[in-house]
Structure 1
Amino acid sequence: MLLGTAVFPVAASAALPLPAQGTPALRIQGSNTIGAELGPALVEGLMRKQGLQQVHSEPGSTANEVTLMGTAASGQTVSVSVAAHGSSTGFAALKSGSADLAASSRPIKDKEVSELSGIGDLRAARAEQTIAIDGVAVILHPGNPLRELNTVQLAQIFSGQIQNWEEVGGIGGAIHLYARDEQSGTFDTFNELVLAKNGKNLSRSAKRFESSEQLSDTVSQDRQGIGFIGMPYVRRAKALAIIDGDSKAMLPTISLIATEDYPLSRRLYLYLPAELHQPWAHALVAFAQSPEGQAIVAQNGFVAQTVQPIKVQPTAQMPAEYQALTRQAERLSVNFRFAQGSARLDSKAQRDLKRVADYLNKRDRHDQRVTLVGFGDAKDDPARATLLSKLRAMAVRRELMKNGVNPNDVLGFGDEMPVAANDVDDGRIKNRRVEVWVN
């Protein structure tokens, strides 16, 4: 398995050329989840790293638009524009040439890849840049006593099939639905992982919002309300634990979102048309992937891709060998996953190889024992599922060895401990994962 390494022509710390006076150095369009706060914060961080002074933001003439401004040593004003009207608008702006970067809270669609092929393959590792992990939280009024729902119940609620809280064990009468607007990547993610997967469409009675903050605040003031939102925007509302298929009930916690085990976890992307060679765009992506950029990701309520150890409590539902592992070792906050229909690691996993290697190669960790644990989706032959899960772990082992790490053990648990339903492609992909344990 040969993996490409993303190379940026312009590092975040290299001096960037100043644009023509009055011309934005960078134009970003797309996701409101990213563009509301995280995108501007990353831009501000890059500007300060470039030595710009008096860095500040000014609201645009349209809601959910902002311009970041700073002053260069020469006295020239440098600006970056951010428009946050939904993930699909970012790809449309790349197509029209009105944006240099697309911010998206869902993966690019096949149709968009085709329409944008003239500026490069936007699914290539160099173009598709995962900058953070988020979880779509299903939120209620804090006084609602309900604690968990499964994805089938959610589909029935948001499609209008279930219209009363008592039908799902709650109280309060009629259910009031709140959802992001049609342009939103958050809506696309919820639609794909919940509604479409169960053959449902969003009810026409749902009130739609472009702003994440407004949706969350409205739900937190409505005792009969339910909505879905990115994790940083839970605010004063209450998040539910979610069950998908045979998975356990999971809250949108940092550890479960970091490993992408939480059923409604998702990646946040910057899509970089590498063929356009826009230096500020390349520099922002490099900065977002750096430790400084990932610290800004965490400060803004999202889950950074920084590798951290997680202590896992054993349960009776775990295989005995896995229970023993939880008592002896800690799990790292990254799962390696594979591209759909392929034995090749996906674009995020390719970058995570270096993150894990850097973590393990630190001086105080070089003697730690490393165990790779593979899982897969259900097969007609359980022995085949176990074999495939171990082969995936062995594939990760080969790639880690190229980065100076030699794992001690490789285990395969087949279709045990699913984190998603196995009856759809997205669920099977999430279940095909490799965990890293150290002790």
Structure 2
Amino acid sequence: MVHFRAVVLAALSLLFGGFSVLAQDVTLTSADGAVEINGTLMGFDGEFYRVQTVYGQLTVDGTGVSCDGPGCPNLTDFVANVAISGAAGMAEVLMPALIDAFALRNGYAVSRRTLDKTHFVYALSDQVTRAPIAVFNFRATSTSEGFADLLADEADIAMSLREIRDSEIKRAYDAGLGNMREKNRSRVLALNALVPIVSHDNPIDRVSPAQLAQIFSGQIDNWQDLGGPDAPIALHAPGQGSGMLQSLEDRLMRPAARQFSPDVEFHAQMEVLVNAVQRDPFAIGIATYASAGAATRLPLSGGCGFSVHATRRGIKTEDYPLTAPMFLYLPARRLPKVARDFLAYTRGPAAQIVIRRAGFVDQAPEEVPVALQGERFVNAISQAGSEVALADLQTMVARLSGLKRLSKTFRFEPGMSTLDAQSKSNATQLARAIEQGIYDGRELVFVGFSDGEGSAQANRNIAIRRAEAVKKAVLNSAEALNADRLDIQVEGFGEALPMACDESAWGRQVNRRVEVWLR
């Protein structure tokens, strides 16, 4: 197996005719000669050396030392080298689109070279002098391979179609990478969703998550069991080992304590999966929001009458339960400045336009008026019972009337008070917007909701505590906050505005949330 780092160095040689050899012994000496550091040069970002020594890995400011040895980089003609590995679903379309847009925005010339089936290179250079500036080296394989390269120090950034798993967190910690769940170790680049699809000729118009898990485990194997024709169900799913299949396991199959049926046909390419389902009226597949094409997308339903559609806004607010954030995971070390600039760009408004045009769901905040949320309030009224009186609904409507819902929803890890991965990213983004003064002079209300288990008063108390927790997380991230510039409030309405049925674990999880409303 050819190591990613070796392919990276070969790419640099191909593109620019030469490069500094990394992973060789060097000696760093302070200007007065009093301090000398010997070790293996692991990286140089144009400003800082990263050296493996007998004392561990050290980061040393390049302006204060001289470097001696065959691995020393050329400080005058430094070219930033960024290795990016992981999910092919991100590497094939989304990341190239963002790099192209980043280069255009900064006045760089950009060229692409394909090295082999899984490796390609983007080179950035000065438009006038053509002097090389940076090389982005991609290895497009799978989420698991991306994490493996990051843990082996073969990649600077890992692309992932799912949240990092506990086993990977442990391996990262054992490898000296610290806690991969810490702040700034990951970010949500864009949003996608797992969507059940069928042919236009299939009469089924909705399916519940519980039924979906039963279908793909083989427990339900005939359309007749779903109110359709007497015909066997053909199953199609994303490729084995892919991040999307692993996300499907994490979000659908494992919570239902089920495994995939041996009759499932797995597809390495999403386009092939969608085409197979479209041709077969008795097939069902799991595609992504961005790749479903002309196939019929089935909404997720529950026994109490709710149906949740995979719309762009529903995915952005996480009202659709099978959202699939697209992550970038980062090491606990400095990246080259151009890489840091690129990561900062991906969070800005210009990048959100690129993400949306590429077919994915962006994270640009939207404000949704109450008038456009009639279905949610109709569901609330229809589900009201002994625990939620009409007066409670009237109180909620009166409080939210005249406000707009922000498309940032906060949810928690199952059975925990810790925000889930997408919500952590939402907290960082909302904090940044507050620091930038985007909401100055406005009222910002964190509104907590709960599932229907327990008494109404207990659920209201839980909802308020959750809203307070989210408020604290956001304000703690807003280090430059001036609290006098906006009015921040907290409310809790318990189970008064359900998004799904409480009959299932996924429904209760969807209902436990904190929304942000603005006046």
TM tier relative to shorter chain: 0.7 to 0.9
The 5 A counterparts of 1:8-87 are: 25-53=81-109, 55-62=110-117, 65-73=119-127, 74-76=129-131, 78-87=134-143
Q: Secondary structure at the match of 1:197?
A: coil
| Kept after mapping to 2: 8 A contact 1:32/1:210 | no
Aligned-partner residue type, residue 159 of structure 2: A
Question: Which residue does 2:228 correspond to in 1?
Answer: 170
Query: Is residue 142 from structure 1 mapped to residue 217 from structure 2 by the alignment?
Result: no
Query: Is residue 233 from structure 1 mapped to residue 291 from structure 2 by the alignment?
Result: yes
Q: Distance in 1 between matches of 2:267 and 2:76?
A: 37
Q: Distance in 1 between matches of 2:419 and 2:185?
A: 17
Question: Which residue does 1:189 correspond to in 2?
Answer: 247
Q: Distance in 2 between matches of 1:306 and 1:213?
A: 27
Q: Secondary structure at the match of 2:307?
A: coil
Query: Is residue 390 from structure 1 mapped to residue 467 from structure 2 by the alignment?
Result: no
Q: Secondary structure at the match of 2:207?
A: strand
Q: Secondary structure at the match of 2:229?
A: coil
| Kept after mapping to 2: 8 A contact 1:100/1:272 | yes
Measured after TM superposition, the shift of residue 85 of structure 1 is 2.2
Identify if the C-alpha distance between structure 1 residues 32 and 407 changes in structure 2 by more than 3 Å, giving closer, same or farther. Answer: farther
CA offset digits 1:118-169 (Å, max 9, x no partner): 1232211211111122211111113323221001110111111212222212
Q: Secondary structure at the match of 1:208?
A: strand
Identify if the C-alpha distance between structure 1 residues 388 and 154 changes in structure 2 by more than 3 Å, giving closer, same or farther. Answer: same
| Kept after mapping to 2: 8 A contact 1:197/1:424 | no
Q: Which of 272, 284, 294 in structure 1 is aligned with 2:342?
A: 284
The 5 A counterparts of 1:122-141 are: 122-141=180-199
The 5 A counterparts of 1:289-368 are: 289-310=347-368, 311-313=372-374, 314-315=377-378, 317-318=380-381, 319-324=393-398, 328-338=402-412, 341-342=416-417, 347-354=424-431, 357=434, 361-362=437-438, 366=440, 368=442
Q: Aligned pair count? A: 420
| Kept after mapping to 1: 8 A contact 2:441/2:486 | no
Q: Secondary structure at the match of 2:327?
A: strand
Q: Distance in 1 between matches of 2:470 and 2:82?
A: 37
| Kept after mapping to 2: 8 A contact 1:27/1:100 | yes
TM-score, normalised relative to structure 2: 0.72
Identify if the C-alpha distance between structure 1 residues 214 and 26 changes in structure 2 by more than 3 Å, giving closer, same or farther. Answer: farther
Aligned-partner residue type, residue 252 of structure 2: V
Measured after TM superposition, the shift of residue 200 of structure 1 is 1.2
| Kept after mapping to 1: 8 A contact 2:441/2:487 | no
Across the aligned residues of Structure 1 and Structure 2, the Cα RMSD in angstroms comes to 3.3
Q: Distance in 2 between matches of 1:233 and 1:20?
A: 45
Q: Which runs of 5+ in 2 are unaligned?
A: 1-44, 47-72, 382-392
| Kept after mapping to 1: 8 A contact 2:451/2:512 | yes
Identify if the C-alpha distance between structure 1 residues 97 and 410 changes in structure 2 by more than 3 Å, giving closer, same or farther. Answer: closer
Compare relative contact order (CA 8 Å, sep 6+) and give the higher one, 1 or 2.
Answer: 1
Query: Is residue 115 from structure 1 mapped to residue 171 from structure 2 by the alignment?
Result: yes
Identity percentage over the alignment? 27
TM-score, normalised relative to structure 1: 0.84
Aligned-partner residue type, residue 188 of structure 2: T
- With 44-53 and 380-389 compared, the bigger mean Cα shift is at 44-53
Q: Secondary structure at the match of 1:352?
A: helix
| Kept after mapping to 2: 8 A contact 1:100/1:281 | no
Aligned-partner residue type, residue 333 of structure 1: S
| Kept after mapping to 1: 8 A contact 2:80/2:336 | no
Rg larger for: 2
Measured after TM superposition, the shift of residue 260 of structure 1 is 0.7
Q: Which of 262, 266, 277 in structure 2 is aligned with 1:219?
A: 277
Q: Which of 398, 414, 418 in structure 1 is aligned with 2:494?
A: 414
Aligned-partner residue type, residue 380 of structure 2: Q
Q: Distance in 1 between matches of 2:259 and 2:187?
A: 30
| Kept after mapping to 2: 8 A contact 1:133/1:305 | yes
Q: Secondary structure at the match of 2:99?
A: helix
| Kept after mapping to 1: 8 A contact 2:443/2:486 | no
Identify if the C-alpha distance between structure 1 residues 48 and 244 changes in structure 2 by more than 3 Å, giving closer, same or farther. Answer: farther
Measured after TM superposition, the shift of residue 403 of structure 1 is 5.5
Q: Distance in 2 between matches of 1:278 and 1:246?
A: 53
Q: Which runs of 5+ in 1 are unaligned?
A: 1-8, 11-16
Q: Secondary structure at the match of 1:102?
A: strand
Question: Which residue does 1:432 correspond to in 2?
Answer: 512
Measured after TM superposition, the shift of residue 325 of structure 1 is 5.4
